[in-house]
Structure 1
């Protein structure tokens, strides 16, 4: 008995409907499962506890946790005018729009004054606000999740003991659909976030583990020194390979760092503790406040532990044998190019007039306070950003080495002048290929400055 074509079509249509229904059903179940994963309930507000509720010891410990995490750096407004400390409204420019940091003073209305400790811990551990909102990863909860429960509790005690500031941060400018946090941020976490406290590595000693705990967790060094993917997540397969932050290049912290002299544990310690390393120069730009305003408050042993950890990350012990020859080569290059005003090299004359007086070294090694540019990261990076940024910003007397300043040349040098100096230094102090489009890049770096530096030379 044959089946009519209409009956065949009817059977195919019924099968297609069943398949479509199954797909829709799976989609509904999957969507419901995702929403169950993404949704968090609000945690009930509390009355702000009195500062006396917290022990002085806990508050003091919490102050150190705040210093190690640079809380004031990202929770204090700096554009336009200096805002109250910890009251938020710091502008973070991201590929997805501007994000403004939250007020973390204990103001009940605009800050965290009505947050319980449980709500605060959830934010640190999981990136979820008290009201259940998914937080953007501009708040580095992917690092703070590694901070111990005790340190988070102490940090809460410190923040809740500070003066309350009534200040509502500006609204974020993140566009649709990224601003639909329950979808976008939850999906981001599903792909890139692994919650959990730091666990000691038994293959390393206590100092290494202390350094790793601080660096990977509270200090969140990878947030600036690790490149990010198109979704804004750290490329963990390229951890510490360097990144661009506000125009500055945060250089690699591993053995991909191109400077000819290895960052040894002692060089790292000097840089992180005092803001200047004898062989590598001064901290500048976004890095400058880290040693001076934050890490200087920590016990010396903690800063040493961070240096110990990163010296292992960059395999300093295995590589530092190259340092003696690298220093000798750098000094030879500098001496060879110490030319007088009668030289035919116009770029050299410009460098002599603007820079040489403070960067001259004739001894077998560089003198502290006279950074040897042939050793400096800025000349060995793939792009001239940092060299131009230092020229434009300068380095204040409270930055870098104590009471030694470099003036800003924002008004004293044109983009063409900066390009000539950069080209001259690259070709005479390194063995690397020349940078390209230098004048254009100088103009781009100048454009990143909203206002001229106050110490700009004329």
Structure 2
């Protein structure tokens, strides 16, 4: 046998061994199916606790398609690798988790593997859920298994090769999945430790507020340094926060509890869904999240405190004169070819709400206080101008009309330039026109994907728990 032939055999043998090792790493056994448990078999108090935990995990919004039934799945999650659809987590025995045992549910939460042994894509944030205790998983399982079953097959994912090969997820987990529990810090308070458990685990705040690497995993060296979700910027939750007024524990609690805060405005985009869910959560847990997050922010530097006082003073000035000239007396004035157009649009469309002097949440925030306008990325402001703040069904809530149908991209760009120059001391944004075009395209793509919910048939058998 020639040398080249022997080398070829060695390489082939090595590939076979590597392939076998990869197969062994990727393979997971299935867990036997069960008969759907009787909803009455679950302790009502456990179900009640599960309801709060589901709210903390924002499970409803991720697993409910627009216009569809609760927890029936089908919501498109757009990633750099393609679109993944959330799964049906109702107790339907055919298309949901009705035949999942508690053991199977625990494995999905802690290892990202479904009952059949199939690896789940990490759009399901099991890299955070692995930190959830067995007791809390038990409560989550109890709540979900007492919901109304919905027969709704999950649409096929739209992923490019090789990301559509689920066995590769085993390699991703080997690199990035940490299965350790959140260890209490004895030097910190009980409230802080509770917040650490919730933020790092079920609430999975870092999933949006931490940047990701090329393989879609959170960059652990930049925790809470800011990220993105659904074409919205999730601002940094540390000293890099662009908020003109630094966040405090009390401000965070008010914002998470009520969906707005006088120095920071109204929750919008995906964050609005988060605070809607937190309305179902006890004050103690919301306070714990606020306490832990405030510690991540850390105490503001002296310069930031002085800057915040100046911004508050500017926002407190009584309005006088025409809206386009009363917007700011100390901030740099807008300049450039579209500054007059931006000022005119602001006066016609924005000033009547944002310069009334009325208190939040039923008036527009004074834009000197806007984190979006002071942020380095204009996406959130562009999204808010285009799509507004929709009213909540059946509730009193702050609203803002969207101007996507009444403003052209050129007009939105002019308005964004004006807002940045007038209400912020930061340098001008770049590539605003592209940001506006991307915002329209992202919304159109989402509506096209989500407009047709899957065929849904609700089982009429009563499930016991409401």
* 2:63–2:70 CA contact under 8 A, matched in 1: yes
Match of 2:334 in 1: none
> Is it true that 1:215 corresponds to 2:199 in the alignment?
yes
* 2:260–2:360 CA contact under 8 A, matched in 1: no
Secondary structure, counterpart of 1:63 in structure 2: helix
- Shifted more, 39-48 versus 188-197: the winner is 188-197
* 1:226–1:238 CA contact under 8 A, matched in 2: yes
Secondary structure, counterpart of 2:77 in structure 1: strand
* 2:73–2:85 CA contact under 8 A, matched in 1: yes
In the alignment, which of 216, 221, 239 is matched to residue 237 of structure 1?
221
* 1:125–1:196 CA contact under 8 A, matched in 2: no
* 1:261–1:320 CA contact under 8 A, matched in 2: no
Shift of 1:405: 1.9
In the alignment, which of 339, 342, 346 is matched to residue 351 of structure 1?
346
- Shifted more, 86-95 versus 407-416: the winner is 407-416
In the alignment, which of 314, 331, 338 is matched to residue 332 of structure 1?
314
For normalisation by structure 1, the TM-score amounts to 0.87
Report the count of equivalent residues.
Answer: 432
In the alignment, which of 259, 264, 285 is matched to residue 302 of structure 1?
285
Question: Cα–Cα, structure 1 residues 108 and 370, in superposed 2: closer, same or farther, change >3 Å?
Answer: same
> Is it true that 1:312 corresponds to 2:289 in the alignment?
no
Shift of 1:243: 1.7
Q: Distance in 1 between matches of 2:300 and 2:312?
A: 21
* Superposition pairs of residues 50-449 of structure 1, within 5 angstroms: 50-78=38-66, 82-182=67-167, 184-292=168-276, 294-315=277-298, 317-319=299-301, 322-323=304-305, 325-329=307-311, 331-332=313-314, 340=322, 345-360=340-355, 369-398=363-392, 402-449=396-443
Shift of 1:413: 2.4
* 1:72–1:86 CA contact under 8 A, matched in 2: yes
**Higher RCO (CA-CA < 8 Å; seq separation 6+):** 2
Q: Greater CA radius of gyration, 1 or 2?
A: 1
Q: Distance in 1 between matches of 2:446 and 2:166?
A: 37
What residue ranges of structure 1 are gaps of 5+ in the alignment?
1-9, 454-458
Q: Distance in 2 between matches of 1:213 and 1:452?
A: 32
- Shifted more, 276-285 versus 227-236: the winner is 227-236
The Cα offsets for residues 311-343 of structure 1, whole Å up to 9 and x where unpaired, read as: 00010x344884464243454388599652796
Secondary structure, counterpart of 2:392 in structure 1: coil
Q: Distance in 2 between matches of 1:451 and 1:129?
A: 29
Q: Distance in 2 between matches of 1:431 and 1:61?
A: 46
Q: Distance in 2 between matches of 1:342 and 1:113?
A: 59
Q: Distance in 1 between matches of 2:415 and 2:106?
A: 50
Q: Distance in 1 between matches of 2:78 and 2:446?
A: 19
